[in-house]
Amino acid sequence: MISQSPRFVLGVESLDDILGKVVDFGALVLIAGNPGAGKTLLASTICYANASRGIPCLYVSLQETKEVFFRHMRDFNMDFGELESRDLFKYYGLPIIMDPELINTLINELSTYSSKYKVLVVDSFTPLSRLIEKNSEIRAILQNFFYNLAKIEKSLVVLVAEIPMGKEALNLGDIEFVSDVVLFLRQCMERGLVTRFIEIRKAREAPVSIGEVPFKIIDKVGIRSFLPPQLEELPSIIRGVSYEYPCKELNEVLGPISAGSSMFVAIPADARSTENYVPGLVSLSLALKHKLKTLVIDYVRPPHTFIDSLLEYAAKKSPRSCDTLKKLVNELVSVEYVNPATMSLEELYTHEIELVRQHQPKLLILNRVDIPSRIHGIEKPEKYFTYLWNELLWFRKRGVTVVRISTYVNRESYLQNSSISETVVRLFKTLREPNLKIYLWSERKTPKIIDFQVLSKCLDEFVYGVCSEKK
């Protein structure tokens, strides 16, 4: 049974957001790029996404055997063998054609499949293009065939083209002009790290304002790419949903924290004692109090250490073993360690969003955000801030409350992070006052400075309350 609404998809969220209306009822899509850029993976993703929705796909390959193709795609969680068993996919291995006159034979053979397989992928179109480049009559016949499939037969036709390494000009002749969508996949090196982009070079009758989309190839997942929210869908904080802190004093000073809002916590860079982690642990206790699924992305510490800090704190404060707290942590909290020095800024951005997609938390704690800021934000601060802002909007749109913990680097960095947060918590000491103080500010509240003991007491109350519950 062929699905009807919408007819076709591209299988990559960001591309469907931008180009969905272009390919909805048939289109000719040209995917070009240098070797290793991800062209075959993108074409296969389009094929798989539509076949999985009940729209049969014919995959014509001039490059690899069916067995190799199937094995490679299983690495990205695409089981074409299962689709083949349901008669939703057919792999058509085609030898390299040396005689231009055989093009008519190829067209006739593909035509026999066109009524059933409404998605056609040709990987790669480049050998065919080179074969017919000097034969204008056969070139016109082949191009008209693909164009008519898309426009008259209302099919989705995807052509993959190889561009020599180091080149970006397509030089594919008329096929570029008759295509409805032209995507160029490119990869570049920055600080020795790979960054991948999809350039949208053409999108017929689509008001495209974003011409370049970063993407990441993830093992067992495939292509992931995310767009910042558009202005017309700019999310507002979910005012109707909020979470109270685990103690009265913080609720009086800050008020409840709204779902989708962002908190920035600054701790002294040169005095990182156990006390400095209390604000993060209070955020974690807030999540446990309201039974919020929580993801901790930690940039400096090994997995579970953030959780261990809370459990160790509880062990010191509670005279008995707190199995209830351990159970809550195990059920609600996940920790992911991310080394931002191993990824480009674009890959880091995509990776973090993918982690949120996978875990689907209601609370996200980012520990030591000064690390990625120093790695990626020094040379290109405007670019880093743009990605940070778009990421926060993406989280807000999905109702994810974000707590960003940083060491205090300098006043400029502190003010920049504070300017995009709804709640600010800063721990500090002065020469006159060696005891730790905490500056608190929340949107629509008057800033206030409190003693550290107030925050510590808040955490104590939560730990005692949970650990005193009867089993």
Q: What is the pLDDT of residues 190-230, one digit of tens each?
A: 778 888 999 999 998 877 778 888 999 999 999 998 887 76
Separation CA 166–CA 189 (nearest Å): 12
Residue 316, C-beta contacts closer than 8 angstroms, at least 6 positions apart: none
| Residue carrying the six token digits 């009758």 | 205
User: Do 245 and 380 touch, CB atoms closer than 8 A?
Assistant: no
pLDDT at residue 76, as a whole number: 96
pLDDT at position 302: 61
Residue 91's pLDDT is: 95
Distance separating alpha carbons of residues 231 and 375, to the nearest angstrom = 29
The count of other CB atoms within 10 Å of the CB of residue 43 is 23
Burial of 355 (0-12, 13-18, 19+ CB in 10 A): middle
Question: What's the residue count for the chain?
Answer: 471
H/E stretch holding 455 reads: helix 452-467
**pLDDT score for 191:** 77
pLDDT of residue 281: 80
Asked if 414 and 246 touch (Cβ cutoff 8 Å), the reply is no
Three-state SS string over 115-129 comes to CCCCEEEEECCHHHH
CB 304 within 8 A of CB 335: yes
Determine whether 286 is exposed, middle or buried from the number of CB atoms within 10 Å of its CB (0-12, 13-18, 19+): buried
pLDDT for res 1: 42
CATH second-level architecture of 13-227? 3-Layer(aba) Sandwich (3.40)
Q: Amino acid identity, residue 330?
A: N
Check residue 3 and give its pLDDT: 45
Joined tokens for residue 419: 């300017």
Q: What is the dihedral of CA 76, 80, 82, 87, to 10 degrees?
A: 160
> 3-state DSSP call for residue 28?
strand
3 state DSSP class of 199: strand
> In which residue are the tokens 């005193």 written?
468
| Integer Cα distance of 85 and 82 in angstroms | 5
CATH fold match for the domains 13-227 and 235-467: yes
User: Residues of 358-368 as b/e, b for ≥16 C-beta within 10 angstroms?
Assistant: ebebbbbbbbb
For the chain, domain boundaries: 13-227, 235-467
Contact 164, 14 (CB under 8 A): no
pLDDT of 125: 83
Cα separation, 310 vs 282, in Å, equals: 9
One digit per residue, pLDDT tens: the chain, 471 residues?
444 445 899 999 889 988 988 998 889 999 999 888 999 999 999 999 999 999 999 999 987 899 999 999 999 999 999 999 999 999 998 776 666 667 777 888 888 888 899 999 999 887 777 776 767 777 777 788 888 888 888 899 999 988 877 777 766 667 888 899 999 998 888 778 888 999 999 998 877 778 888 999 999 999 998 887 765 666 666 667 889 988 888 888 888 898 999 999 998 887 656 666 777 888 888 888 899 999 999 998 765 577 777 788 787 777 666 788 888 889 999 999 999 999 999 999 999 999 999 999 999 999 999 999 999 998 889 999 999 999 999 998 889 999 999 999 899 999 999 999 999 999 988 777 777 889 999 988 899 998 888 888 888 888 888 887 655
Alpha helices in 155-304, H assignment, sequence order:
175-178, 248-254, 278-289
Hey, which bits of 281-400 come out as E strands? 294-298, 333-337, 363-367
Strand locations in 256-343, DSSP E? 257-259, 262-267, 294-298, 333-337
Residue 383, H or E segment: helix 381-397
The C-alpha angle with vertex 177 and arms to 176 and 178, in degrees rounded to 5, equals 95
Beta bridge partners of 196: 187, 215
* Domain 235-467, architecture per CATH: 3-Layer(aba) Sandwich (3.40)
pTM: 0.85
Which pLDDT tens digit goes with each residue over 415-431? 999 999 999 999 988 77
Angstrom distance (rounded) from CA 177 to CA 22: 15
pLDDT at 348: 93
Sheet strands (E) in 155-279: 156-162, 181-190, 193-203, 212-218, 222-224, 238-243, 257-259, 262-267
The SS3 assignment for 268 reads: coil
Task: Kindly calculate the radius of gyration of the chain based on its CA atoms and give it in whole angstroms.
Answer: 27
- As a whole number of angstroms, the distance between CA 182 and CA 178 comes to 10
User: Using the 8-state DSSP alphabet, how is residue 255 labeled?
Assistant: -
Task: Measure the CA–CA gap between 218 and 225, rounded to whole angstroms.
Answer: 10
Helices 278-289 and 323-332: crossing angle in degrees, nearest 10, is 80
Determine if the peptide bond prior to 261 is cis (ω within 30°): no
SS3 state at 388: helix
Three-state SS at 124 = coil
Distance of CA 160 to the CA centre of its chain: 24
How far, in Å, CA of 340 to CA of 372, rounded? Answer: 6
Angle of the 323-332 helix axis to the 305-317 helix axis, nearest 10: 160
